[in-house]
Amino acid sequence: MLQKKWWHEKTAYQIYPKSFMDANGDGVGDLRGIIGKLDYLKGLGIGIVWISPIYQSPFVDQGYDISDYYAIDPAFGTMEDMDELLAEAKKRGISIVMDLVVNHCSDKHEWFQKAMENPFGKYGKYFYIREGKDGNPPCNWRSYFGGSAWEKVPGYDNLFYLHMFAKEQPDLNWENEEVRQEIYKMIRWWLEKGIAGFRLDAIINIKKDLRFADFPADREDGMCSAGVMLEHAQGVHEFLQEMKREAFAPYDAFTIGELFDFRIEELEQYIGAGGCFESIFDFAPHVLGGTNHGWFNRREVTPDEFCDAIYRSKRVSQDIGMMANIIENHDEPRGVSRYLPKDGLHDTGKKMLAGISLMSFGLPFLYQGQEIGMTNKQFHDIAEVDDISTHDEYRVALSRGVGKEEALARVSGMSRDNARTPMQWSSEVHAGFTEGKPWLPENENYREINVAQQEGREDSVLSFYKKLIALRTDPAYTECVVYGKQVPVLTELSDFMGFLREGREKTLLVLANYRSMEREAVIPQKVKKIVMDNCEAKDTAAHISDAKEGSSILMKGYQFLVLEV
């Protein structure tokens, strides 16, 4: 039995601030834009908002390269705007979560600037600076964004600093007590201000394998992926527990870790009672189909794989803690474009996917635009892409002999820019996002897919999300939807997802037909009531609401049902 937490019953929402709402017409989203949309978020039923980085940044990696942790970047507004946002959110019962990017900072951060002036002084020890091998990097680790994870210290022939991401994102040396204390001080400063907590960026990376030694190469470039190094890094929990003790616990902060490459046997240490975080994102479906070679040779994910990944991760996690369910975020393609077969990419299919995500055990975490069913963007030329990671993956594809057009097609599907196009508020110019020129062009389909067009329409994707979210706080269902055990049923059916949510007093049966074909499903327990139906199938409602144990119901293509049994 999980210990209850204040956030368990909430629904969370991620804002990518550059692309959410632009209030001053400069083409970049801002804090005043967010303030103006708080009523919208409240109307949706959102209780927690995570905002991707809004700190001062040169934007080499869109704000994940921070040059001052105590300043708001002018592109987003001022500290006064931030204070107002916190106050206005509070009035509406919305908790604000910030992004904590402390594996690395920006090369424009004062610490790094001073470290480059004197790599052997105090600030040199804030980073990982090592001797190379005759002018070559100290070891063969590949950075996440391509190329060596080591870059030469300017002015030295054989001295390098470590950057697991871009070379403009030098890794902070967590082994240095002084660095850790600086970070904890900064965390406390923000919590003092009244934010509810943090999303912890790439946090597993803070512990390195301190031998800084080569591993077997996994690509023709002779380098090894960062994940290989992380498998050998020992002791991340000591850092994480210390950070919890010194920074988060005194404020009872909400913390949600972004973890890839962690050992599942250690889940308890992350989110169990006494774990270092409150929650972590469930990326089980997102890592499917990946290889060591890059995006260009990723495989498409089948509905069965998608469903199995969810079952598996719930089986392992639900007695330990609550993970956050996502179908997309600012690093991932749009979930509907990725997890729905082509013939399912319509409102019914989108509602089914929403239902699977929100009715599974976990904290629902929506990404801006997901609630209206925003889709991937069509890229016509690599020059239209902003994302640093997509450019690297494109180069990797070319280097493996893939032609230009084909390379673009292959990396487009995974591009992080799919999720970063402006939020589609209306069918007005630039989707109602800005009166200026958007920093990244909007998706061409904004006239068909936008908030204004869906608000107040009973059958819209947006309305379906609202109903799903409301179910979580409906006194009749909350215990069952939030805490009920998730038990798979009808697992013998392919392209089908069926599970029970067994609450103390109520049980819900969730069924999703992941195909365009009609098909039969055998009802394991007598149906008492239809709670949700994405087809609003009045013609068939009677045969479903009366279904007895062991009887079959006919489900339409991509139909999604929540039945009280």
The distance of closest approach from Cβ of residue 169 to ligand TEU in the complex, given in angstroms and rounded to an integer, is: 6
Structure tokens at 68: 């001052």
The distance of closest approach from Cβ of residue 146 to ligand TEU in the complex, given in angstroms and rounded to an integer, is: 11
The distance of closest approach from Cβ of residue 543 to ligand TEU in the complex, given in angstroms and rounded to an integer, is: 44
Q: Which of 101, 240, 440, 500 binds ligand TEU (CB under 6 A)?
A: 101
Q: Which is nearer to ligand TEU, 393 or 495 (CB)?
A: 393
**Rama region for 181: left / alpha / beta (φ>0; ψ in -120 to 50; rest):** alpha
State the CB neighbour count (10 A cutoff) for residue 455.
16
The distance of closest approach from Cβ of residue 295 to ligand TEU in the complex, given in angstroms and rounded to an integer, is: 8
Structure tokens at 144: 């996440």
The distance of closest approach from Cβ of residue 236 to ligand TEU in the complex, given in angstroms and rounded to an integer, is: 14
The distance of closest approach from Cβ of residue 416 to ligand TEU in the complex, given in angstroms and rounded to an integer, is: 6
Torsion (CA) 59, 63, 68, 71 in degrees, nearest 10: 110
Structure tokens at 372: 């209206």
Q: Which is nearer to ligand TEU, 329 or 424 (CB)?
A: 329
Q: Which is nearer to ligand TEU, 82 or 388 (CB)?
A: 388
Structure tokens at 7: 């956030």
Q: 363-422: which residues touch ligand TEU (CB under 6 A)?
A: 389
Structure tokens at 24: 């001053």
Distance CA(480)–CA(469), nearest Å, equals 14
The distance of closest approach from Cβ of residue 329 to ligand TEU in the complex, given in angstroms and rounded to an integer, is: 7
The distance of closest approach from Cβ of residue 198 to ligand TEU in the complex, given in angstroms and rounded to an integer, is: 13
435-440: long-range pairs with CB below 8 Å, 24+: 435/22, 435/25, 436/22, 436/25, 436/26, 436/27, 437/27, 438/19, 438/22, 438/27, 439/18, 439/19, 439/27, 439/28, 439/386, 440/18, 440/19, 440/386
Answer whether 422's CB lies under 8 Å from 442's CB: yes
Choosing from 61, 65, 107, 258, which is the catalytic residue? 258
| 3-state class (DSSP) for residue 318 | coil
Q: What DSSP state is assigned to residue 244?
A: I
* Tokens 């009920």 sit on residue: 484
Q: Which is nearer to ligand TEU, 164 or 468 (CB)?
A: 164
Distance CA(126)–CA(141), nearest Å, equals 20
Q: 316-335: which residues touch ligand TEU (CB under 6 A)?
A: 330-331
* Tokens 């190094």 sit on residue: 229
Known catalytic membership, residue 549: no
Going through 213-282 in order, the beta strands assigned E by DSSP cover 254-257, 279-282
DSSP H helices in 233-369: 236-243, 267-271, 303-317, 335-339, 347-359
Known catalytic membership, residue 258: yes
| 3-state class (DSSP) for residue 392 | helix
Answer whether 115's CB lies under 8 Å from 124's CB: yes
Answer whether 68's CB lies under 8 Å from 105's CB: no
At 192, the amino acid letter reads E
Q: Which is nearer to ligand TEU, 115 or 226 (CB)?
A: 226
| Helix, strand, coil tally for the chain in percent (to 5) | 35, 15, 45
Q: Which is nearer to ligand TEU, 100 or 523 (CB)?
A: 100
Q: Which of 165, 283, 361, 560 binds ligand TEU (CB under 6 A)?
A: 165
Count of residues interacting with ligand TEU (CB under 6 A): 12
Q: Which is nearer to ligand TEU, 61 or 107 (CB)?
A: 61
Q: Which is nearer to ligand TEU, 337 or 453 (CB)?
A: 337
Query: Which among 39, 51, 58, 67 has a CA at the least distance from the CA of 12?
Result: 51
The distance of closest approach from Cβ of residue 201 to ligand TEU in the complex, given in angstroms and rounded to an integer, is: 5
Q: Which of 151, 201, 328, 442 binds ligand TEU (CB under 6 A)?
A: 201
Q: 18-47: which residues touch ligand TEU (CB under 6 A)?
A: none
The distance of closest approach from Cβ of residue 39 to ligand TEU in the complex, given in angstroms and rounded to an integer, is: 28
Cα 363 to chain centroid distance, Å, stands at: 12
Q: Which is nearer to ligand TEU, 199 or 515 (CB)?
A: 199
Q: Which is nearer to ligand TEU, 169 or 375 (CB)?
A: 169
Q: 42-71: which residues touch ligand TEU (CB under 6 A)?
A: 61, 64
Site string for ligand TEU, 119-158 (x = CB under 6 A): -------------------------x--------------
- The residues with which 48 forms a beta bridge, in sequence order, are 12, 95
Query: Which among 204, 264, 266, 285 has a CA at the least distance from the CA of 497?
Result: 285
Q: Which of 35, 105, 179, 202 binds ligand TEU (CB under 6 A)?
A: 202
The distance of closest approach from Cβ of residue 16 to ligand TEU in the complex, given in angstroms and rounded to an integer, is: 9
Distance CA(287)–CA(301), nearest Å, equals 10
Query: Which among 479, 508, 485 has a CA at the least distance from the CA of 4?
Result: 479
262 contributes a contact to ligand TEU by CB under 6 A: no
Query: Which among 400, 300, 297, 311 has a CA at the least distance from the CA of 360?
Result: 311
Q: Which is nearer to ligand TEU, 200 or 544 (CB)?
A: 200
Choosing from 22, 73, 168, 201, which is the catalytic residue? 201
Using CB under 6 A as the criterion, which residues of the chain lie in contact with ligand TEU when the complex forms? 61, 64, 101, 144, 165, 201-202, 258, 260, 330-331, 389
Q: Would you please indicate which residues are annotated as catalytic (active-site) residues?
A: 201, 258
